[in-house]
A and B are shown apart, each in its own frame.
Chain A
Amino acid sequence: EVQLVESGGGLVKPGGSLRLSCAASGFTFSPYSMNWVRQAPGKGLEWVSSISSSSSYIYYADSVKGRFTISRDNAKNSLYLQMNSLRAEDTAVYYCARDTKSVDWYFDLWGRGTLVIVSS
């Protein structure tokens, strides 16, 4: 089955760190750009970060720049998001999302998400 499965969410104190993972299966992971998108409680979707297939191009939303780091391991079919200096406003469900092969900047496959709660 073609799928993305996120993990690593949980409760963390403000200022803390967390590393999210996204495991891809059922398709060849390496040719695709990958993304993280989040949804805060009661809010809309917010794009967080993108990484190209070979990790040559990386982009971040201003809200996370300097605090979050996206990475991938094509040998392990996995995408990661290292989140440091977490704030209450980072509380959200974090989704892993696949771009198209031609990097069209829309997402044709999503995971179910992992919940991150930043609270003391």
Chain B
Amino acid sequence: DIQMTQSPSSLSASVGDRVTITCRASQNISSYLNWYQHKPGKAPKLLIYAASSLQSGVPSRFSGRGSGTDFTLTISSLQPEDFATYFCQQSYSTPLTFGGGTTVEIK
């Protein structure tokens, strides 16, 4: 199975900050990497697919980069509605696997 490791597991940031979350795969997954946002009690939301493609309707302050084993999700200017948990997921092979999550909290 492909292991996905996210860092940090949590971070505190202020509105307007630039935030970067890292996801590392245990083997080469090319660009088969996706990012989701999850708020408590709500449905998870797809943000980025294929490492860098912005899902329709997602604000442009979200961006994704990387290929191979190392990937990043960046929020260019954190907004109040962005405080949530973010997960990466590899779609290279089954079993599909997720990172452990990064919780973005208000500083």
Out of A45, A50, A59, A95, name the residue touching B43 (CB < 8 Å).
A95
Asked if A104 meets B87 with Cβ closer than 8 Å, knowing A44-B99, A111-B43, A112-B42, the reply is no
A4 to B43, CA, bound (A): 9
Q: Give chain B residues whose Cβ lies under 8 Å from the Cβ of A50.
A: 94, 96
**At the interface with chain A, which of B12-20, B44-52, B63-71, B74-82?**
B44-52
Closest to A43 in B: B100
- Residues A36-87 near B (CB distance < 8 A): 43-47, 50, 59, 61-62
Contact of A108 among B32, B46, B101 (CB under 8 A): B46
CB pair A104–B91 under 8 Å, yes or no, is yes
The total number of A-B Cβ pairs within 8 Å is: 58
Do B98 and A112 have beta carbons less than 8 Å apart?
no
What's the tally of chain A residues with a CB closer than 8 Å to chain B? 22
Residues of B within 8 A of A44 (CB): 87, 98-101
Residues of B within 8 A of A45 (CB): 36, 44, 87, 89, 98, 101
Shortest beta-carbon distance, A26 to chain B, in Å?
13
A4 to B44, CA, bound (A): 12
From 19 to 76 in chain B, residues with beta carbon under 8 angstroms from any chain A beta carbon are: 32, 34, 36, 41-46, 49-50, 55
Of B32, B46, B95, the residue contacting A47 (CB under 8 A) is: B95
The answer on a CB contact under 8 Å between A106 and B49 is yes
Hey, which chain A residues are within 8 Å of B87, CB to CB?
A: 44-45
A105 within 8 A of partner (CB):
yes
Nearest chain A CB to B49's CB is how many angstroms away?
5
Tell me the smallest distance from the CB of A50 to a CB of chain B, in Å: 8
Q: Which residues of A contact B45 (CB under 8 A)?
A: 110
CB-defined A-B contacts under 8 Å, sample of 7: A44-B101, A45-B44, A45-B87, A47-B98, A95-B43, A106-B46, A110-B43
The 9 A-B pairs of least Cβ separation, nearest first, read A105-B91, A47-B96, A110-B43, A45-B98, A106-B34, A44-B100, A110-B44, A106-B91, A108-B46
